[in-house]
Amino acid sequence: MASYERSLEEQGLLIVLSGPSGVGKNSIIDALREEDPGRFHSVSMTTRPPRKDEQEGVSYYFTNKLHFEELIRKDKILEYDSYCGEYYGTPREPIERMTGQNVDILLDLTVKGALELKRNCPNAVIVFVTASTEEALRERLMNRGTESEDAIDKRLETAREEMTKIDLFDYWVINDLISEAANDVSAIIRAEKRRTLRFFVDECDL
């Protein structure tokens, strides 16, 4: 029988924002952090060397390729990709440790990375962020003023491809107004913590 007290064994949530580049995922994360800076941790591992201002376990966990590949083989990396010859990924251990201590972890991952992580952690919550229309996304990319029209067209084509994956995600948030999108993500986190499923799953499911 379910005990009333069962609910008190609370676990942190692993929540992932994903979606087309330029859609404002980082602005949402910044808005959430502003409300409560201690609320979220983000945890990634990379094999690229740390920059001057980067601290171990804050910006990234830094390691070498040999060790990263060993972690992949031992199923200790939840998702990863390589970029410019260096690995970037999400290590399992710090996530299990922190969620076990009721700390929420908020990650910004590629669509491929988010889906890979969801396969490894069915209890992770993956959120797809889009603009309300393709035109809105184009405007956003143009306003950044950092890319040619050709490069923007290519990004929009990638975005269209990524949109076909949306039904594999748990939630769909529209980022027209950052504060509204951040409130949506806050509500998702609060609601997910009350889902009965979370009280009746094995811990190893994360």
Q: What residues line the site for its own copies (CB under 8 A)?
A: 1-2, 4-5, 7-8, 127-128, 130-134, 136-137, 160, 163-164, 166-174, 183-184, 186-188, 190-192, 194-196, 199-200
What is the number of residues in the chain?
206
Q: Residue 110 or 183: which CB sits closer to its own copies?
A: 183
Which residues, listed in sequence order, are joined to residue 60 by a DSSP beta bridge? 56
Q: Residue 93 or 203: which CB sits closer to its own copies?
A: 203
Q: Residue 98 or 188: which CB sits closer to its own copies?
A: 188
| Min separation Cβ 75 and its own copies, Å | 28
Contact assessment for residue 23 and residue 140, using Cβ atoms and an 8 Å cutoff: yes
Contact assessment for residue 63 and residue 45, using Cβ atoms and an 8 Å cutoff: yes
Q: Residue 104 or 192: which CB sits closer to its own copies?
A: 192
The DSSP secondary-structure symbol of 168 reads G
Q: φ, ψ for residue 62 (rounded to 5)?
A: -100, 135
| Min separation Cβ 118 and its own copies, Å | 12
- CA 44/CA 51 separation, integer angstroms: 15
